Structure 1
Amino acid sequence: MITIRQLQIFTKLVETGHMGEAADALGLTQPALSQQLKMLEQRTGVVLFERIPRGMQLTPAGRELLVPMRSTLSAYRDLLDAADRAADRPAGVIRFGVTPTIGPYLMPGAIKRLHMRFPELKVYIREGIPSLQHSELAAGELDMILSPMPIAGTGLAIEPIFREPLRIVAPPDDPLLRLENRTIADFGGRTFLTLDHRHHYHRQLMAICKKLNASIIGDYQGTSLDALRQMSGSGVGLALLPELYVRSGAGGLSAVEIAEPRGWSEFRSVAAAWREKAAYADTFRAIAGIIADEAAERLAA
């Protein structure tokens, strides 16, 4: 019999492409994970993964089974949610995924609002790469996510909740700051710092650099917005910071200043998402509304 744990191992290996990372994420030793994978392959009668220099990848047979295995995990999570609702336990625990470019600068205030509205609700927040969290949501490993758009996945309810301006910053002695009327042409040839290429931030920055005739520094990828701000402040390059980060006590403009061309209006759209058939869909929609209220208040301040 195929177990839920084996399905979780399968999907985590698909996401990470690495035995060690998958084992760490699931709280298993690598030998235990390998043994469970072997049992799963025996049950299905096919080889699911093949080893490559950088890790592991799905075989053609594994790709055929990816969608039904993810659907089974999602249905299992929905079953647990429905059981909680039937037992009159609407509070429970919500596993909430959010990108680190949003979570630390918005969620503290949103959590306070949530606790006032749903005092029995427990929210376990997990920060991660948006594209990976989209898959985790579809597989039932997360209940709800807050992510920059677009959000990929089938069977998801996606609720756009706010648009956040994006600000260009530079060190205080940058020549751009001496220009009274900066234009897009003034940014030609300049370089920007970026985050891990898997972040939506990186893809959006690439599009912005194309408009500015600028480029991304290829040999450095920051791990946080703080790292980008600090590196920019030291003169390494320009940086793009979201408005909520700029306004937050956790972030701000220490060591850098706003340096934007005239008429600058770039932004990112942020949405909440959950599985359409989730038992707590109404609760998730209410949570999205609370987060939207918090964002609107902060952006209007």
Structure 2
Amino acid sequence: MKHFLTWNPVIVPGDTVRYSVEFQGEYERYYANESWIAISECSLIIVTQCDVTEDISATVPYNLRVRANLGSQSSKWSTLNGLFNRKTTFLTPPMMKVIADGYHLLVELEELGPAFQFHIFYWRKGQENEMHKKTVKEISSVVHLDTMEAGADYCVKAQTYVEAINRSSNFSQMQCVGVQDGGSTWLTITVVSFAGFVVGVLALPFLAWKMSQIFQYSCCPVVVLPDTLKITESPAKLIHCRSEETEGCDVAVHVIPPEEILQLWIQDAL
């Protein structure tokens, strides 16, 4: 419900022409000696357009006029060919997009401002006599209309409506969408589930082996001895220390792995 007055420019080579706009409502015409009121936002402007929405806010006939100004010179006023009443505004159908999200019938509508409402009509295809209507006053993003039945097509059309002028637009072009058949949906779910089961069976042994490796190296890590502690001679050449040879054994100490100590102990026992 934005209203703009536009006009053809006056061309003066080398100079900038400015324009001023005035309006006259029903009160000024009949009760204020046919006076005119200047629109302050459109006084001495250089563009050829003026937003008159706030000045013609009542549903009564208005007249508008504009003139050109160049320095101290002004042209004659140019007025409308006829009075304008905003209730004669031609409303265009809304831009609309119908969406089938699973079994949900959704519609997206363009945002036109707080003055507009939308009348949405929807029905199951082939059942136009059972048409449903939904009025939407505020558009957030997507409007949910209904829950659809499997295997059926649903059609939607909409129109704009402005309560201030009690006027509606023509209907938008009808759009129809369908929901996927329930049998096909079940087949798809079954195939996807089976594929997931197969992948899980094939991946389970690998995951088990990987987890065992992780626990093994986490709980029982492999310790590598430094070179200075590794045995460089045969265990047969190791010196068996007696109590009286303790002093001599102190200079010939070798670190023996636990499993070799056990073997030596068994040999000594035999």
The one of the two structures with greater contact order (alpha-carbon pairs below 8 A, sep at least 6) is 1
Greater Rg, structure 1 or structure 2? 2
TM-score when scaled to structure 2?
A: 0.19
Decide which structure has greater helix share.
1
